[in-house]
Protein backbone atom coordinates (compact mmCIF):
# COMPACT_ATOMS: atom_id res chain seq x y z
CA UNK A 1 0.00 0.00 0.00
CA UNK A 2 1.29 3.47 -0.83
CA UNK A 3 1.51 5.54 2.33
CA UNK A 4 1.00 9.33 2.37
CA UNK A 5 4.62 9.80 3.42
CA UNK A 6 5.95 7.76 0.51
CA UNK A 7 3.78 9.73 -1.91
CA UNK A 8 5.05 13.01 -0.50
CA UNK A 9 8.58 11.84 -1.23
CA UNK A 10 8.00 10.37 -4.68
CA UNK A 11 5.51 12.80 -6.20
CA UNK A 12 7.83 15.86 -6.20
CA UNK A 13 10.52 13.79 -7.92
CA UNK A 14 8.08 12.47 -10.49
CA UNK A 15 6.62 15.88 -11.23
CA UNK A 16 10.00 17.55 -11.33
CA UNK A 17 11.34 14.84 -13.60
CA UNK A 18 8.43 15.58 -15.91
CA UNK A 19 9.99 18.94 -16.74
CA UNK A 20 13.50 17.57 -16.71
CA UNK A 21 12.60 14.86 -19.20
CA UNK A 22 11.53 17.44 -21.73
CA UNK A 23 15.18 17.62 -22.75
CA UNK A 24 15.53 13.95 -23.74
CA UNK A 25 16.62 13.65 -27.37
CA UNK A 26 15.95 17.33 -28.02
CA UNK A 27 17.99 19.31 -30.50
CA UNK A 28 18.26 22.96 -31.32
CA UNK A 29 18.83 24.63 -34.64
CA UNK A 30 22.23 26.07 -35.44
CA UNK A 31 22.52 29.85 -35.39
CA UNK A 32 22.55 31.45 -38.77
CA UNK A 33 26.06 32.09 -40.02
CA UNK A 34 27.37 35.08 -41.92
CA UNK A 35 27.56 35.19 -45.69
CA UNK A 36 30.59 33.68 -47.33
CA UNK A 37 33.23 36.12 -48.54
CA UNK A 38 33.41 36.40 -52.33
CA UNK A 39 36.36 34.79 -54.06
CA UNK A 40 39.33 37.07 -54.78
CA UNK A 41 38.51 39.37 -57.67
CA UNK A 42 34.82 38.55 -57.48
CA UNK A 43 32.44 41.28 -56.46
CA UNK A 44 28.84 40.95 -55.41
CA UNK A 45 26.32 42.31 -57.84
CA UNK A 46 25.08 45.77 -56.94
CA UNK A 47 21.60 44.89 -58.07
CA UNK A 48 19.61 42.48 -55.95
CA UNK A 49 16.36 40.85 -57.10
CA UNK A 50 13.30 42.17 -55.39
CA UNK A 51 12.13 40.03 -52.52
CA UNK A 52 8.43 39.49 -51.85
CA UNK A 53 7.14 41.31 -48.83
CA UNK A 54 7.23 39.09 -45.75
CA UNK A 55 4.45 38.95 -43.24
CA UNK A 56 5.55 40.17 -39.81
CA UNK A 57 6.56 37.32 -37.54
CA UNK A 58 4.43 36.77 -34.45
CA UNK A 59 5.79 38.32 -31.29
CA UNK A 60 8.09 36.01 -29.36
CA UNK A 61 6.64 34.57 -26.17
CA UNK A 62 8.63 35.33 -23.00
CA UNK A 63 8.97 33.38 -19.76
CA UNK A 64 7.22 36.24 -18.00
CA UNK A 65 4.22 35.71 -20.28
CA UNK A 66 4.33 32.00 -19.54
CA UNK A 67 4.31 32.77 -15.82
CA UNK A 68 1.34 35.10 -16.30
CA UNK A 69 -0.51 32.41 -18.24
CA UNK A 70 0.13 29.74 -15.61
CA UNK A 71 -0.90 32.04 -12.78
CA UNK A 72 -4.14 32.80 -14.65
CA UNK A 73 -5.17 29.11 -14.93
CA UNK A 74 -8.57 28.85 -13.28
CA UNK A 75 -9.61 25.23 -12.80
CA UNK A 76 -11.68 24.11 -9.84
CA UNK A 77 -9.56 22.27 -7.29
CA UNK A 78 -6.23 23.32 -8.84
CA UNK A 79 -4.16 25.75 -6.74
CA UNK A 80 -0.78 26.17 -8.41
CA UNK A 81 2.45 27.30 -6.78
CA UNK A 82 4.49 28.92 -9.57
CA UNK A 83 8.30 28.95 -9.70
CA UNK A 84 10.89 30.01 -12.27
CA UNK A 85 12.91 26.81 -12.27
CA UNK A 86 12.48 23.64 -14.31
CA UNK A 87 13.45 21.39 -11.41
CA UNK A 88 11.65 20.84 -8.16
CA UNK A 89 13.86 20.13 -5.17
CA UNK A 90 13.42 16.37 -5.45
CA UNK A 91 14.27 16.18 -9.14
CA UNK A 92 17.20 18.56 -8.83
CA UNK A 93 18.75 16.46 -6.06
CA UNK A 94 18.10 13.32 -8.08
CA UNK A 95 20.02 14.70 -11.02
CA UNK A 96 22.92 15.98 -8.92
CA UNK A 97 23.36 12.99 -6.65
CA UNK A 98 22.29 10.01 -8.74
CA UNK A 99 23.82 8.05 -11.57
CA UNK A 100 21.56 7.95 -14.62
CA UNK A 101 21.80 5.13 -17.15
CA UNK A 102 21.89 5.09 -20.11
CA UNK A 103 24.26 8.05 -20.20
CA UNK A 104 22.48 9.77 -23.09
CA UNK A 105 19.43 10.28 -20.90
CA UNK A 106 21.49 12.04 -18.24
CA UNK A 107 23.06 14.27 -20.89
CA UNK A 108 19.59 15.14 -22.14
CA UNK A 109 18.39 15.98 -18.62
CA UNK A 110 21.33 18.30 -18.05
CA UNK A 111 20.46 20.24 -21.21
CA UNK A 112 16.85 20.83 -20.16
CA UNK A 113 15.95 24.55 -19.80
CA UNK A 114 16.70 25.68 -16.26
CA UNK A 115 18.91 22.67 -15.41
CA UNK A 116 22.62 22.02 -15.22
CA UNK A 117 24.64 23.84 -17.86
CA UNK A 118 21.59 25.08 -19.75
CA UNK A 119 21.29 28.86 -19.86
CA UNK A 120 17.57 28.69 -20.64
CA UNK A 121 14.93 28.98 -17.96
CA UNK A 122 11.55 27.43 -17.43
CA UNK A 123 8.41 28.21 -15.45
CA UNK A 124 6.34 25.61 -13.64
CA UNK A 125 3.21 25.58 -11.52
CA UNK A 126 2.59 22.57 -9.26
CA UNK A 127 -0.50 21.90 -7.14
CA UNK A 128 -0.66 19.71 -4.05
CA UNK A 129 -3.20 17.42 -5.75
CA UNK A 130 -0.79 16.14 -8.38
CA UNK A 131 -1.54 18.67 -11.15
CA UNK A 132 1.22 20.58 -12.96
CA UNK A 133 1.58 23.03 -15.84
CA UNK A 134 4.79 24.51 -17.20
CA UNK A 135 6.65 25.97 -20.13
CA UNK A 136 9.82 27.53 -21.46
CA UNK A 137 10.41 30.36 -23.93
CA UNK A 138 12.92 29.00 -26.44
CA UNK A 139 15.02 30.70 -29.11
CA UNK A 140 12.43 30.43 -31.85
CA UNK A 141 9.41 28.48 -33.06
CA UNK A 142 11.57 25.99 -34.95
CA UNK A 143 13.41 25.04 -31.77
CA UNK A 144 10.10 24.57 -29.96
CA UNK A 145 8.77 22.35 -32.76
CA UNK A 146 11.95 20.28 -32.72
CA UNK A 147 11.55 19.75 -29.00
CA UNK A 148 7.93 18.71 -29.49
CA UNK A 149 8.94 16.27 -32.23
CA UNK A 150 11.53 14.78 -29.87
CA UNK A 151 8.83 14.09 -27.29
CA UNK A 152 6.88 12.03 -29.80
CA UNK A 153 9.90 9.71 -29.98
CA UNK A 154 10.43 9.47 -26.21
CA UNK A 155 8.56 6.20 -25.59
CA UNK A 156 10.82 4.54 -28.14
CA UNK A 157 14.13 6.35 -27.69
CA UNK A 158 14.20 6.78 -23.91
CA UNK A 159 11.62 4.22 -22.83
CA UNK A 160 13.48 3.03 -19.75
CA UNK A 161 16.33 4.30 -17.61
CA UNK A 162 17.59 3.93 -14.04
CA UNK A 163 18.77 6.31 -11.34
CA UNK A 164 21.14 4.98 -8.64
CA UNK A 165 21.92 7.02 -5.52
CA UNK A 166 25.09 7.10 -3.44
CA UNK A 167 23.73 4.34 -1.20
CA UNK A 168 23.38 2.03 -4.18
CA UNK A 169 19.59 2.16 -4.24
CA UNK A 170 18.22 2.09 -7.78
CA UNK A 171 14.99 3.62 -9.03
CA UNK A 172 13.47 2.81 -12.39
CA UNK A 173 11.71 5.16 -14.81
CA UNK A 174 9.62 3.97 -17.75
CA UNK A 175 7.93 6.02 -20.47
CA UNK A 176 4.95 4.72 -22.46
CA UNK A 177 2.64 6.34 -25.04
CA UNK A 178 -0.37 8.32 -23.74
CA UNK A 179 -3.22 8.66 -26.21
CA UNK A 180 -5.38 11.30 -24.51
CA UNK A 181 -3.36 14.41 -25.37
CA UNK A 182 -5.32 17.44 -26.65
CA UNK A 183 -5.28 18.29 -30.36
CA UNK A 184 -1.90 19.62 -31.45
CA UNK A 185 -0.14 18.10 -28.44
CA UNK A 186 1.70 14.86 -27.81
CA UNK A 187 1.89 12.87 -24.62
CA UNK A 188 3.24 9.95 -22.65
CA UNK A 189 2.97 8.33 -19.24
CA UNK A 190 6.06 8.36 -17.02
CA UNK A 191 6.22 5.70 -14.30
CA UNK A 192 8.72 6.25 -11.50
CA UNK A 193 9.45 3.34 -9.16
CA UNK A 194 11.67 3.37 -6.10
CA UNK A 195 11.69 1.53 -2.79
CA UNK A 196 8.82 -0.69 -3.85
CA UNK A 197 6.61 2.32 -4.61
CA UNK A 198 5.53 3.22 -8.16
CA UNK A 199 3.68 6.27 -9.36
CA UNK A 200 2.43 7.33 -12.81
CA UNK A 201 2.43 10.83 -14.29
CA UNK A 202 0.45 11.51 -17.47
CA UNK A 203 2.10 14.31 -19.44
CA UNK A 204 1.12 16.31 -22.53
CA UNK A 205 3.30 18.70 -24.52
CA UNK A 206 2.68 21.36 -27.16
CA UNK A 207 3.95 24.63 -28.60
CA UNK A 208 2.78 28.21 -28.94
CA UNK A 209 5.19 29.98 -31.27
CA UNK A 210 8.59 29.78 -29.60
CA UNK A 211 7.10 28.54 -26.31
CA UNK A 212 7.21 24.89 -25.32
CA UNK A 213 4.38 24.11 -22.88
CA UNK A 214 3.19 21.11 -20.92
CA UNK A 215 0.57 19.85 -18.53
CA UNK A 216 0.66 16.80 -16.27
CA UNK A 217 -1.20 15.00 -13.52
CA UNK A 218 -0.82 12.06 -11.15
CA UNK A 219 -3.90 9.85 -11.62
CA UNK A 220 -3.69 8.48 -8.09
CA UNK A 221 -3.87 11.95 -6.57
CA UNK A 222 -5.84 14.13 -8.98
CA UNK A 223 -9.60 13.59 -8.93
CA UNK A 224 -10.91 14.08 -12.49
CA UNK A 225 -7.31 14.68 -13.50
CA UNK A 226 -7.87 14.32 -17.23
CA UNK A 227 -10.66 16.89 -17.20
CA UNK A 228 -8.56 19.30 -15.14
CA UNK A 229 -5.61 18.75 -17.48
CA UNK A 230 -7.70 19.48 -20.57
CA UNK A 231 -9.15 22.66 -19.02
CA UNK A 232 -5.87 23.99 -17.65
CA UNK A 233 -3.79 23.15 -20.71
CA UNK A 234 -6.40 24.78 -22.96
CA UNK A 235 -6.35 27.93 -20.84
CA UNK A 236 -2.54 28.01 -20.88
CA UNK A 237 -2.37 27.79 -24.67
CA UNK A 238 -5.19 30.29 -25.20
CA UNK A 239 -3.58 32.81 -22.86
CA UNK A 240 -0.21 32.59 -24.59
CA UNK A 241 -1.80 32.90 -28.02
CA UNK A 242 -3.63 36.01 -26.83
CA UNK A 243 -0.53 37.57 -25.29
CA UNK A 244 1.57 36.86 -28.36
CA UNK A 245 -1.06 38.56 -30.52
Instruction: Find the largest Cα–Cα distance for the chain.
Output: 80
42 in a domain, yes or no? no
Q: Angle 4-20/89-97 helices, nearest 10 degrees?
A: 70
For residue 186, give Cα distances in angstroms to 17, 104, 148, 199, 212. 17, 22, 8, 20, 12
36 in a domain, yes or no? no
Q: Angle 89-97/103-110 helices, nearest 10 degrees?
A: 130
Q: Structurally, how many domains does the chain consist of? A: 1
164 in a domain, yes or no? yes
Q: Which of 24, 13, 20, 8 is nearest to 156 (CA)?
A: 24
104 in a domain, yes or no? yes
Alpha helix positions (H), 111-217: 141-152, 154-157
* Residue 102, preceding peptide bond in cis (omega within 30° of 0): yes
| Domain of residue 171, residue span | 4-25+61-244
Distance from chain centroid for Cα 32? 25
135 in a domain, yes or no? yes
pTM: 0.73
**CATH code assigned at 98:** 3.40.1000
141 in a domain, yes or no? yes
Other beta carbons within 10 Å of 165:
14
- Give the bridge partners for 162, in sequence order: 101, 172
227 in a domain, yes or no? yes
Per residue of the chain (245 residues), give pLDDT as tens.
343 333 443 444 455 555 444 433 333 333 334 444 545 555 544 555 566 555 555 668 999 999 999 999 999 999 998 887 644 444 555 566 678 888 877 765 565 544 444 445 678 888 888 899 988 898 899 988 988 887 787 788 778 888 777 778 787 888 899 999 988 788 999 888 877 788 898 999 999 999 999 999 999 888 999 999 999 999 999 999 998 76
37 in a domain, yes or no? no
Amino acid sequence: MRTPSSLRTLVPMALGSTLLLVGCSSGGGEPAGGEENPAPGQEASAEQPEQPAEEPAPAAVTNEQIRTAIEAIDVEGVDLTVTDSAATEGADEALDENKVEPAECRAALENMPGVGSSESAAVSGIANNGMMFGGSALEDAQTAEELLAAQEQMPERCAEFTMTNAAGETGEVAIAPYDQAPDGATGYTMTTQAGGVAIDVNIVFGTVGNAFVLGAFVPEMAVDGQQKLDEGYGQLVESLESQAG
